[in-house]
Amino acid sequence: MRAETRHQLKQDAFSRVTIDAAGRTADWTVAHRSTLIIVTVAVAVVLAAVIGGWYYLRAQDEKASFELSQAVRTMDTQLRLAGTPEQPDVPTFTSAKERAQAATKQFQAIVDKYPHTRTADMAHYFLGVTAATLSDNAAAERNFKEVVSAGNREVAAVAKSALASLYGQTNRVKEAATLYQELINKPTASVSKVAAQLQLAELYQNSNQPLDAKRIYEQIKKENPGAEAGQLATQKLSELK
């Protein structure tokens, strides 16, 4: 059933209940007309503000989503070799740094223009990604943390995974492991339990903690028999021997 149809059915049901209630309270309405008018106007104002705000935020989010797609496209733009002439109408960059700087401006513009949208959370996440690309670890950490605390569970999980990866790359192994364990304990559609387990095991493996890595890989193998993750864990276990 289409969303518009479901919405209309809800409206029709609400209308029937409202009309029935109005008929039963007709006598009371005559006696308390002034009070009813005041309350009705107040409710109407609040309802209009809520509906108007919802439509406004939805429209803002749609605009933000379009701009986000353009910014992500910038991140995926191919690099051209030094000395190669730039093609008209085909934006290219000569370095990953130049490309990341251009994308950063686009993502920041989305955050500034649409601060209360879900898309702004995604733009904040990508600001962390581009900051990491530019070796600005402090900015990357700050942006990832802001997304983690933003309240959007799925985007927050991706940001937490990225933050854990950043910690792992900067020798903050204990902090990284804590974040991965949180993702394992509370998996999401965006970061599954097994994905977080694999990342944690790899962290331990790269940090010269083979026993901890082995423990995680064995758990993955046990919990995912015959699955791709289980096969990967088996392969990793053979590398640890």
Total-model pTM: 0.71
Per-residue pLDDT of 195-205, as tens digits, reads 999 999 999 99
3-state secondary structure of 79: strand
3-state secondary structure of 164: helix
Task: Locate the domains of the chain by residue range.
Answer: 38-77+93-150, 172-241
Average pLDDT over residues 62-79: 84
Residue 223 neighbours by CB under 8 Å, 6+ apart: 194, 230
Average pLDDT over residues 210-233: 91
Task: Decide if 38-77+93-150 and 172-241 have a common fold.
Answer: yes
Residue 182 has pLDDT above 90, yes or no: yes
> What are the φ/ψ torsions at residue 85 (nearest 5 degrees)?
-65, 145
Query: Which fold, 38-77+93-150?
Result: 1.25.40
Domain with residues 172-241, CATH architecture: Alpha Horseshoe (1.25)
